[in-house]
Amino acid sequence: MNVPINLGFKGLELQPGEHLCGLHAGVQQRDEILLPFLRAGLEAGDKCICIVDGTEPAEIVAALGAPGGENTAAGVKQLDVMRAADAYLRSGKFSAAETIATWKAAISEVMYLGRFARVRAVESWSLRDVVPDSGELLHLEREMRHFLALYPQVILCLYDVDRFGGEIIGDVIKLHSKVLVRGMIFENPLHLALDEVLASPYPYGKQQFLWSER
């Protein structure tokens, strides 16, 4: 039986395998979501991963009260915080295929070691350190939906509406069944089912995602 995962704020919960799009305006609103989410994970003994754009990882670790990020479970680091550029620009440019491969490798290692029962991860996008092509970003969001079902995990994708245009935010929202706005989770009536995503023209359509089927 799936046990709901407490998000750490407003009494909100998600089921393992869910992928939530969170919208915020500015760093303060971001931290009102990101920090409680990670604190709740640390308290629950979850493996916590944070990829942050526009803020140094040390600032997040300090705000969490976890000096050096050395929270451990059975000798294994519980908290990983990294800059978006370090996670997503390893080949010099943003690639959805490389990014999802990195996520899969990291989470599969966590599960293989058996030190944590579940994983919670947060990606924060502000277009500061990393400016991905919109098609590649949508490609990544689409592939996350396949990836989530593989492990007991939740992923929170945070988008700064002050930095993104309305068109890309509208497209991103369509790839999430649930959207977090002003501390409330809404079921998304604009959400596209996977078969609709595959049948749609670029940036969603199957012709853009053949690599994932190899």
Tell me whether the omega of the peptide bond preceding residue 203 falls within 30 degrees of 0, making it cis. yes
Neighbours of 174 (CB within 10 A): 20
Neighbours of 68 (CB within 10 A): 10
Please list the pLDDT of the chain residue by residue as tens digits (214 residues). Answer: 578 899 999 899 999 988 899 999 999 999 999 999 999 999 999 999 999 999 999 999 999 985 444 455 445 689 999 999 998 888 788 888 888 888 888 888 888 888 898 999 999 999 888 888 888 888 888 788 778 888 889 999 999 999 988 888 888 888 888 899 988 999 877 776 544 544 455 454 433 332 233 2
Neighbours of 156 (CB within 10 A): 22
DSSP letter assigned to residue 67: G
CB 6 within 8 A of CB 14: no
Q: Where are the domains of the chain?
A: 23-150+163-182
Residue with tokens 């303060």: 28
Nearest residue to 48 via CA among 150, 141, 117, 139: 117
Whole-structure pTM value: 0.83
